[in-house]
Amino acid sequence: MSTAKLTINLDALVTNWQNLNAMTNCETAAVVKANGYGLDAARVAKALATGGARNFFVAAAEEGVALRRALGPGPGISVFSGHMEGDTRLLKEFQLAPMLNSLDQMLRHFETLPGHTFGVQLDSGMNRLGMEPAEWAAVRDIALGQKPVLLMSHLACSDEPSHPMNAQQLQVFREMTDGLEVPRSLAATGGILLGRDYHFDLCRPGVGLYGGAPYGDALPVVQLDLPVIQTRDVEPGESVGYGNTWVAQAPSRIATVAAGYADGLHRTMMNHGIDLFAGKTRCPVVGRISMDLITVDITALSEVPASLTLLNEVQTVDHLATAAGTIGYEILTSMGHRYARTYQG
């Protein structure tokens, strides 16, 4: 088989959730938007529900529908994009709680689904989603009269603990919500790590569950093994791959493995210290990453392995991200659709 194998360790995922939960005195939900950060929202959420999670967040109502089908009735499912035109039937039928983020959405929600569970998203300074302080002051009493289940906001710089924006947003969020006696949520993964002041009543980690920064103590959740399709020996002076960018300096054995930039393995990642692993032995990527193939120097190996490992406990999504000039979130969510996915635990 020439498809790469992505192994997802659900036990590690659940342990990450439990460890983050243990850092707080409040409820810990789980963010499973973008199909569970690319790892399959249904499987991820089922594992987390078994491990103790009672509330889940997605970006769009359609994602909530798929999640409700997987989880059945019971767990809370909230939608960050709120109540958009066309969402009404889905929100109702699949018991999804929109996190309303504008006056327009509020009016739509109270008119079409009176009495239906909702939360309110407040903008404490990120200028992305949610009501700003003046807008909130104007509509607050109307909103509170309809009994929101959550008041939430999102931090722009929580992956940088010393950034002054964190304290500033905390203060704005407090000013907008103190004394209202509605459960509150401010922290995603980064916010949990900022400490108790940021936790309020509910935390909403995403990336940390999947093993990514800024949760440095996360257990790795994914392993990626790329099958070796062919090997060849090259002489000094022979080149490998598009553009002849790599030229052998010594007699070398080259393995061609199946996966490439069409699988989310950014072409820009080459020459930035990304290796493939045969057990503990590092084998450097040589030449350009192409659409479906990567070439690897396996001269150091005494035998040709059936596959080489790109993601393991030593080389994580964050290492790949750094090499590609991006963040672990993007590596996870671009993980190839043609990988054969296997779930452990």
Q: Taken in order 80, 86, 89, 93, is the CA torsion positive or negative?
A: negative
Q: Does 106 count as an annotated binding residue?
A: no
Q: Binding of ligand PLP at residue 189 (CB under 6 A)?
A: yes
Beta pairing class for 76-79 and 55-58: parallel
* 23 annotated as belonging to a binding site for a ligand: no
Distance CA 191, CA 207 (A): 12
User: According to the binding rule CB under 6 A, does residue 88 interact with ligand PLP?
Assistant: no
> Which of the stretches 41-49, 136-144, 185-193, 317-325 binds ligand PLP when contact is defined by CB under 6 A?
185-193
The nearest distance, CB 117 to ligand PLP, in angstroms, is 18
Chain positions 149 to 168 lying near ligand PLP, rule: CB under 6 A, are: 154
Q: Which one from 198, 210, 215, 242 is the annotated catalytic residue?
A: 242
The one among 64, 125, 148, 205 contacting ligand PLP by CB under 6 A: 205
Q: Are 269 and 259 in contact (CB under 8 A)?
A: no
Contact segment (CB under 6 A) with ligand PLP among 103-111, 135-143, 204-212, 282-290 equals 204-212
310 closest CA partner among 8, 4, 37: 4
Is 199 near ligand PLP (CB under 6 A)? no
Catalytic position from the list 33, 37, 215, 339:
33
- 242 as an active site residue: the answer is yes
CA 207 to chain centre: 4
Closest of 166, 170, 148 to residue 157, by C-alpha: 166
Q: Could you tell me which residues are beta bridge partners of residue 99?
A: 119
Kindly tell me which of 46 and 154 has the beta carbon lying closer to ligand PLP. Answer: 154
Residues between 11 and 50 that touch ligand PLP (CB under 6 A): 31, 33
Rounded Cα distance between 122 and 135, Å, is 10
Q: Strand order of the sheet with strand 97-100?
A: 30-31, 55-58, 76-79, 97-100, 119-121, 150-152, 184-185
Q: Is the Cβ of residue 193 or residue 257 nearer to ligand PLP in the bound state?
A: 193
For residue 5, indicate whether it is catalytic: no
Residues that bind ligand PLP (CB under 6 A): 31, 33, 80, 154, 188-190, 204-208
Which residues are tagged catalytic?
A: 33, 242
